[in-house]
């Protein structure tokens, strides 16, 4: 059974890697239920899909198509072995740390029911940024993260509600196409010749990804 091991919230803190902005990448598990709702568009919306979670760079992060970020505890465990350091839940800036769910094999447009009310839809892979690189403090981190090929997934909020650690995650809709988070990540970051394959996702393809694929 797939479930939420933790729900993680980031508070504003100075961003040494983008000096004119604050950051919420340093997320910590939150024990109480957290409200989830669609935040609206980038720059003019509420940023994160989780109430109380801070998004510092609203131009490139947050908004409806990146409302929630999920990463698997199993992948964090693999990173712990690779890096030789402890990685608590929230270490990659993820809102949801999951167990029992292969996030990188999730298909674009796939929908997850979490708890009783919340419905989320898989949209795009996480693309590593300068803040993530600085936060990890490891030379060559962006290349290392990219080569591993387990980016985790951004999700949009289809139905709002409250979630809490321990909630069950159920895949309630899986599209017929085979365009996964892992495939999209490889197309965007490693092999641009794969970009046209993203169009196989049809209406499940995020508009920004569709534009990039069409250009290719």
pLDDT tens digits along 188-216: 999 999 999 999 999 999 998 898 888 76
Q: What is the pLDDT of residue 20?
A: 67
Confidence label for 22 from pLDDT (cuts 50, 70 and 90)? confident
Evaluate if residue 162 carries a pLDDT over 70: yes
Mean pLDDT in the chain?
A: 95
Q: Which residues contact 191 (CB under 8 A, 6 or more apart)?
A: none
Average pLDDT over residues 78-99: 97
Rounded Cα distance, 182 and 14, in Å:
32
Evaluate if residue 47 carries a pLDDT over 80: yes
How far the first Cα of the chain sits from its last, in Å, is: 39
Evaluate if residue 138 carries a pLDDT over 90: yes
Q: What is the pLDDT of residue 165?
A: 98
Tell me the C-alpha to C-alpha distance, in Å, between residue 75 and each of 72, 149, 216.
5, 10, 30
């Amino acid at each position: 059974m797939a479930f939420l091991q933790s729900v993680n919230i980031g508070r504003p803190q100075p961003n040494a890697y983008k000096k004119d902005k604050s950051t919420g990448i340093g997320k910590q598990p939150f024990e109480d239920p957290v409200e989830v709702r669609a935040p609206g568009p980038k720059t003019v919306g509420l940023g994160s899909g989780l109430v109380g979670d801070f998004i510092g760079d609203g131009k490139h992060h947050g908004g409806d198509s990146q409302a929630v970020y999920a990463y698997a505890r199993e992948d964090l465990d693999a990173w712990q072995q690779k890096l030789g350091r402890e990685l608590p839940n929230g270490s990659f800036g993820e809102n949801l740390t999951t167990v029992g769910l292969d996030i990188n094999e999730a298909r674009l447009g796939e929908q997850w029911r979490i708890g009783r009310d919340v419905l989320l839809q898989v949209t795009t892979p996480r693309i590593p940024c300068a803040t993530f690189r600085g936060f990890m403090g490891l030379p060559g981190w962006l290349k290392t993260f990219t080569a591993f090929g387990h980016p985790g997934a951004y999700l949009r909020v289809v139905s709002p509600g409250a979630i809490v650690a321990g909630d069950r995650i159920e895949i309630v809709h899986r599209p017929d196409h085979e365009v996964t988070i892992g495939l999209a990540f490889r197309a965007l970051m490693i092999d641009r010749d794969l970009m046209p394959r993203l169009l196989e996702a049809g209406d499940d393809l995020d508009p920004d990804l569709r534009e990039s694929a069409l250009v290719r």
